[in-house]
Amino acid sequence: MTENAPLVIVGTGLAGYNLAKEFRKLDSARPLLLVSADDGRFYSKPLLSTGFAKGKEADELGMQDAAAMAAQLDAEVLTGTSVSAIDPAARTLTLDGREQPYSDLVLALGAEVRSLPWREQLGERLLSINDLADYGRFRGALVGRKKVLIIGAGLIGCEFANDLSLGGFEVAVVATDPWLMPQLLPEPVAAAVQRRLEALGVTFHLGCGIRELAASDDGLLALLDDGTEVRADQGLSAIGLAPRTDLAAAAGLPVGRGVLVDAQLCTSDPHIYALGDCAEVAGLNLMYVMPLMTSARALAKTLSGAPATVGYPAMPIMVKTPACPLVVAPPLNAAAGDWQISGEGEDLRAVFIDPQGQLQGFALSGAAVSEKALLTRELPAWLS
């Protein structure tokens, strides 16, 4: 049944499409099928948090539609199609009620937004941005509105705070976090970023939960734990992402923070692989572009008949906060070492040193980002 079955990739985000591109460089003949729950447009997800400053509508961020991608890849691209089940023994997928055989299967499912308890009752007044359709929906919701409440002060919340401010909106950020991006930054660097965002007009309410969030006559009213009231026209939830693992778990595949795969990106089933935000690769779930691209190149080799393991060199993250240039290489074990910080103002150099004196991570802001290349060479590989 699987003799002439295609290689099937579930997901047409950066992971799915880039894997398909890399695979086609190595194998031009094998049948290839991509399955997309959305419209299958190809776009760069990192551009979603720069679109307001550039005045870009959703359609302007889309690079190619599904038909163009299918032609480019010599593949079939199914759009608006849900996968409800995987049968590893039969090597089939259930697609909207029909069975689709596969020779090999790749899960490039991405991650889904974590939901706030007020999401359903507030509807369009409280949205999240996780893909191009979300971005378009949020832009539509902002027509005629000026004040935006962002819930969450992680990387995504800070990038959108910067972008929306540059796009002419009044932005307030509320988070229980004690400082910005606490999973990535030591407090002094976070404070430098906060000062520059405040200079743009962003207001912050940190270390504070939301007691109540409700629609008001003119928008939203947030009542914070400290009694502060924050009013806005539109809400944006940016409280993080969770890898999509339900489909794999239901098929009996082991999952942890993501779908568990080895260094060849293979699950416990020899014909099922995973990469990108949904995958936990040898214990690491790194939801960033560079690990995804590295994984796509390695997996393409494996699927074309030349088994390859993925290795992650240290890959610093360029955070899109142009108000305060920022690059971060977070330590993989933040408990095993200490931050050492130098510099002044917004030009800070923070290095994370382990007990053996080895550099394990860094955070550079302002003019200090010029040290990125030099420090990156000193870092150990994230996965070798």
Query: What is Dmax (Cα atoms) for the chain?
Result: 66
In terms of domains, do 58 and 137 share one? Answer: no
Q: Cβ(131)–Cβ(53) under 8 Å? A: no
HEC states along the chain? CCCCCCEEEECCCHHHHHHHHHHHHHCCCCCEEEECCCCCCECCHHHHHCCCCCCCCHHHHCCECHHHHHHHHCCEEECCCCEEEEECCCCEEEECCEEEECCEEEECCCEEECCCCCHHHHHHHEECCCCHHHHHHHHHHCCCCCEEEEECCCHHHHHHHHHHHHCCCEEEEEECCCCCCCCCCCHHHHHHHHHHHHHHCCEEEECCCEEEEEEECCEEEEEECCCCEEEECEEEECCCEEECCHHHHHCCCCECCCEEECCCCECCCCCEEECHHHEEECCECCCCHHHHHHHHHHHHHHHCCCCCCCCECCCCEEECCCCCCEEEECCCCCCCCEEEEEEECCEEEEEEECCCCCEEEEEEEHHHHHHHHHHHHHCCCCEC
**In angstroms, what CA-CA distances link 224 with 23, 44, 129, 346?**
50, 35, 23, 29
Residues 6+ away with beta carbon under 8 Å from 97: 84
**CA atoms of 237 and 288, how far apart (whole Å):** 19
Where in the sequence is the domain holding 230, given as residue range(s)? 115-237
Looking at the structure of the chain, the number of domains it has is: 3
State residue 1's pLDDT score: 52
Q: Do both 73 and 152 map to the same domain?
A: no
CB atoms within 10 A of CB 198: 14
84 and 184 belong to one structural domain: no
Q: Which residues, at least 6 apart from 315, have a Cβ–Cβ distance to it below 8 Å?
A: 288, 290, 291, 294, 329, 382
In a domain, 1, yes or no: no
Alpha-carbon distance of 39 to 32, in angstroms, equals 18
In a domain, 316, yes or no: no
Q: Which pLDDT score is estimated for 97?
A: 85
Residue 312 domain flag: no
Q: Are both 258 and 220 inside the same structural domain? A: no
Do 367 and 344 fall within a single domain?
A: yes
pLDDT for the residue numbered 217: 77
Regarding whether 179 and 140 lie in a shared domain, the answer is yes
Looking at the fold, whether 121 and 229 belong to one and the same domain comes out as: yes
Quick one: 183 and 88 in the same domain? no
Same domain as 123, residue 221: yes
Pick from 194, 216, 237: which residue ends a domain?
Answer: 237
Q: Are residues 232 and 120 in the same domain?
A: yes
Low-confidence spans in the chain with pLDDT less than 50 = none
Q: Of the residues 237, 254, 278, which one is the last residue of a structural domain?
A: 237
Domain end marker among 237, 263, 293: 237
Q: What is the CATH number of the domain that holds 278?
A: 3.50.50.60
Taking alpha carbons only, the member of 19, 118, 116, 132 closest to residue 65 is 132
| Calpha distance 273→42 (Å, rounded) | 22
- Asked whether residue 163 is domain-assigned, the answer is yes
The full length of the chain comes to: 384
- Residue 2's pLDDT is 65
pLDDT for 70-114, tens place per residue? 999 999 999 999 999 999 999 999 998 899 999 999 999 999 999
Residues 100 and 210 in one domain: no
Q: How far, CA to CA in Å, does 236 sit from each of 149, 178, 223?
A: 6, 20, 16
Same domain, 255 and 233: no
* Angstrom distance (rounded) from CA 111 to CA 287: 9
pLDDT at 216: 84
